[in-house]
């Protein structure tokens, strides 16, 4: 299985708040999600990190 663990990084404080997995062959685009950040105490944009 080609599922890789990826981290979702808050674009405001750069914390790695979430961990998820995805199939890089099926989803070549970078993930970009609005998620709640405990450090920022609000929803911020989270992007996939390497
Ligand atoms: Zn944050």
CA of 12 to the centre of ligand 1 (A): 5
- What pLDDT sits at residue 25? 87
pLDDT, tens digit, 9 for 90 and up, residues 9-36 = 999 999 999 999 999 888 888 999 999 9
CA 41 to centroid of ligand 1, rounded, Å: 7
User: 45: closest CA among 20, 15, 9, 16?
Assistant: 9
Domain annotation for the chain: domains and CATH numbers: 3-49 (2.20.28.120)
What pLDDT was estimated at residue 2?
74
CA of 1 to the centre of ligand 1 (A): 32
What is the 44 CA–ligand 1 centroid distance (Å)? 7
Q: Is the pLDDT of residue 4 over 80?
A: yes
Q: What's the sign of the alpha-carbon dihedral 24, 30, 36, 40?
A: positive
Determine the pLDDT at residue 3.
85
Instruction: Give the pTM.
Output: 0.83
Q: What are phi and psi of 36, to 5 degrees?
A: -80, 130
Longest dimension (CA), the chain: 36
The structure tokens listed for 24 are: 């890089």
Distance 15 CA to ligand 1 centre (A): 6
């Amino acid at each position: 299985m080609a599922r890789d663990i990826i981290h979702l990084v808050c674009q405001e404080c750069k914390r790695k708040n979430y961990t998820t997995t995805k199939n890089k062959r099926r989803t070549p685009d970078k993930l970009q999600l609005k998620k709640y950040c405990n450090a920022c105490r609000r929803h911020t944009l989270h992007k996939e990190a390497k």
